[in-house]
């Protein structure tokens, strides 16, 4: 009997090449699997299944991981207001662990001896997939044909044609990866520091120009209503994307350090993630203390870094999630947001847990819990260590 390999399959050129290659050159029985984390429509999933079967896969499986991705990943990116380098909401990098985890589960269901993916040797994804496979399926051998063979795009096309698969492989000018938490756009201009992505490169084009005000409701940190309508968080993310993408909102370019040590540059379009994170952050400013805000920022930045670098299995991630869960107890309320072409503004919020409570006074207007004399004494005490320091060092 032939040994089995489970191939992470997207239907693109690289993974399409892998099917006949693994069958013919490696003598393996190929079982393809696609893990949907919010980036594929039902029609696209059907086309991908048809392609896998046409290429000769012994079986093809579609796994829905959208809810897992939200509950175990996106939710904590919201709680942590995670924007890598103050810019990127981890649109693609946060998906990969959850895709790799489902692939490992499928490997065990199939009883495969090998697991394969179509990553090249030049990016982060090879590490993200390999690391999960190494830890959770250490006895299963990893095959990455594109990385191993270092083939050009044309060589892959020629190989497929020689095997009788003459699909249309029009090379897109841009590489686009779409998921629940945003879409990345790479190629041409993003390959150099000075390149500026043109309007047409972004998946969504501007169709609305009249300003629109919306309300996003949060319940213990999770987005649960849009304009007063209760929604499941995943449903809300989709609805907000449809609404805000018509304004061209959520575009930016992320520059950062890759896992393999190089600098990387990628454009993205993530209207729902950016709006939700900024709205959530405003609500937290009103309900959390200064120390909670400070330590949340430290731990959340580290959480995002670990997520980006494929370290989701590191136990400290669960520790940080426990902390983040605890901080969201009172993060409940509504946030007003205004949408405009290419821009959004987080305007105001309302919450029963607002620490900006007028019972203690109003900033810049009146104090109700202390007097002017109290401030004089407080300031003298506060100044004392600095007075000592500058007295000792007055000649330095």
Where are any strands of DSSP class E within the chain?
4-8, 29-36, 59-64, 114-116, 141-143, 175-179, 182-186, 212-219, 222-226, 229-230, 251-257, 263-269, 333-340, 343-350, 361-362, 366-367
112: Cα within 13 Å, side-chain hemisphere = 31
- pLDDT value of residue 247: 98
Q: What is the spatial distance between Cα 299 and Cα 125, in angstroms, rounded to a whole number?
A: 24
Q: What is the mean pLDDT of residues 365-370?
A: 82
CATH number of 175-288+330-350: 3.90.1260.10
Same fold, 4-162 and 175-288+330-350: no
Return all residues near 36 (Cβ < 8 A) that are at least 6 apart. Answer: 45, 62, 63, 64, 65, 66
Q: Please give the pLDDT value at position 364.
A: 76
Distances (CA, A) of 118 to 5, 21, 227, 262, 388: 13, 12, 42, 20, 64
Q: Could you identify the residue written with the tokens 């179509």? A: 118
Residue-by-residue DSSP string for 187-206? SGGGGSTT----GGGSSS--
pLDDT for residue 370:
87
The pLDDT value given to residue 359: 84
Task: Evaluate if residue 173 carries a pLDDT over 90.
Answer: no
Q: Which CATH superfamily is domain 4-162 in?
A: HUPs (3.40.50.620)
Domain spans of the chain, in order of start: 4-162, 175-288+330-350, 358-392
Residue 172 has pLDDT above 80, yes or no: no
Mean pLDDT calculated for residue range 16-38: 97
- pLDDT for position 99: 96
pTM exceeds cut of 0.85:
yes
Instruction: Give the closest residue to 118 by CA, choosing from 10, 15, 6.
Output: 15
For residues 133 and 115, the answer to whether their CB atoms sit within 8 Å is: yes
pLDDT at 272: 98
The mean pLDDT of 77-85, rounded to a whole number, is: 97
pLDDT at 122: 81
Question: pLDDT tens digits, residue range 327-347?
Answer: 999 999 999 999 999 999 999
Going by pLDDT thresholds of 50, 70 and 90, the confidence category of residue 361 is confident
pLDDT beyond 90 at 127: yes
In which order are the strands placed within the sheet that holds 263-269? 175-179, 182-186, 263-269, 251-257
pLDDT of residue 175: 86
Of the pLDDT bands very low, low, confident and very high (cuts 50, 70, 90), residue 41 is very high
Instruction: Provide mean pLDDT across the span 44-66.
Output: 97
Kindly report, residue by residue over 263-318, the tens digit of the pLDDT. 999 999 999 999 999 999 999 999 999 999 999 999 999 999 999 999 999 999 99
CA 340 – CA 214 distance, rounded (Å): 11
Q: Where are the beta strands (DSSP E) in 316-388?
A: 333-340, 343-350, 361-362, 366-367
* CA gap 357, 335 in Å, rounded: 17
Angle (CA) 119-124-127 rounded to 5° is 75
Q: What's the pLDDT at 170?
A: 77
What pLDDT was estimated at residue 161?
Answer: 95
What's the whole-number average pLDDT of the chain? Answer: 95
- Can you say whether residue 88 is alpha, beta or left, with left for phi > 0 and alpha for psi between -120 and 50 degrees? beta
- The 3-state secondary structure of 80-145 reads CCCCECCCECCCCCCCHHHHHHHHHHHHHHHCCCEEECCCCCCCCHHHHHHHHHHHHCCCCEEECH
Is residue 306 within 8 A of residue 93, CB to CB? The reply is no
Average pLDDT, stretch 133-155? 95
Of the chain, the percentage scoring pLDDT greater than 70 comes to: 100
Q: Is the pLDDT of residue 238 over 80?
A: yes
For residue 162, how many other CB atoms are within 10 A of its CB? 10
Q: What is the pLDDT of residue 12?
A: 92
Question: What DSSP element (H or E) covers 301?
Answer: helix 290-308
Which residues, at least 6 apart from 88, have a Cβ–Cβ distance to it below 8 Å? Answer: 252, 254, 256, 268
What is the per-residue DSSP string for 149-174? H---HHHHHHHHHHTT-----PPPSS
Question: Phi and psi (nearest 5°) for 170?
Answer: -65, 125
Determine the pLDDT at residue 123.
Answer: 87
pLDDT at 362: 80
Averaged pLDDT for residues 106-125: 94
Q: Are 157 and 249 in contact, with CB atoms under 8 Å apart?
A: no
Task: Evaluate if residue 59 carries a pLDDT over 90.
Answer: yes
User: Within a 10 A sphere around the Cβ of 155, how many other Cβ atoms?
Assistant: 12
């Amino acid at each position: 009997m032939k040994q089995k390999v489970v191939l992470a399959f997207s239907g693109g050129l690289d993974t399409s090449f892998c099917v006949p290659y693994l069958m013919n050159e490696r003598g393996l029985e190929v079982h393809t699997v696609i893990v949907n984390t919010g980036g594929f429509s039902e029609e696209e999933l059907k086309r991908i299944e048809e392609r896998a079967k046409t290429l000769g896969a012994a079986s093809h499986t579609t796994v829905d991981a959208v809810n897992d991705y939200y509950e175990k990943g996106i939710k904590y990116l919201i709680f942590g207001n995670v924007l890598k380098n103050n810019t990127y909401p981890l649109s693609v990098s946060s998906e990969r662990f959850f895709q790799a985890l489902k692939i490992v589960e499928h490997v065990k269901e199939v009883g495969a001896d090998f697991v394969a993916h179509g990553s090249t040797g030049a990016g982060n994804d090879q590490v993200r997939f390999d690391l999960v496979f190494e830890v959770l399926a250490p006895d299963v051998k990893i095959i990455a044909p594109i990385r191993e063979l270092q083939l050009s795009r044309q060589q892959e096309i020629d190989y497929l044609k020689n095997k009788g698969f003459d699909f249309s492989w029009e090379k897109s000018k841009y590489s686009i990866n779409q998921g629940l938490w945003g879409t990345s756009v790479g190629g041409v201009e993003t390959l150099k520091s000075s390149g500026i992505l043109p309007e047409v490169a972004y998946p969504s084009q501007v169709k609305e120009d009249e300003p629109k005000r919306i309300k996003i409701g949060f319940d213990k940190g999770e987005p649960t209503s849009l304009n007063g309508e209760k929604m499941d968080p995943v449903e809300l993310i989709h609805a907000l994307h449809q609404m805000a993408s018509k304004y061209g909102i959520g575009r930016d370019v992320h520059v950062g350090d890759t896992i393999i040590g190089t600098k990387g540059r990628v454009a993205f379009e993530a209207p729902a993630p950016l709006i939700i994170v900024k709205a959530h952050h405003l609500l937290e400013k009103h309900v959390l203390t200064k120390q909670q805000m400070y330590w949340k920022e430290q731990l959340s930045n580290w959480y995002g870094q670990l997520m980006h670098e494929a370290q989701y299995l590191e136990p400290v991630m669960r520790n940080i999630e426990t902390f983040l869960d605890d901080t969201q107890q009172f993060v409940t309320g509504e946030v007003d947001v205004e949408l405009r072409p290419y821009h959004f503004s987080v305007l105001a919020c309302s919450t029963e847990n607002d620490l900006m409570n007028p019972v203690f006074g109003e900033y810049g207007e009146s104090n109700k819990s202390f007097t002017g004399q109290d401030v004089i004494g407080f300031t003298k005490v506060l100044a004392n260590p600095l007075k000592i320091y500058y007295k000792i060092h007055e000649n330095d």
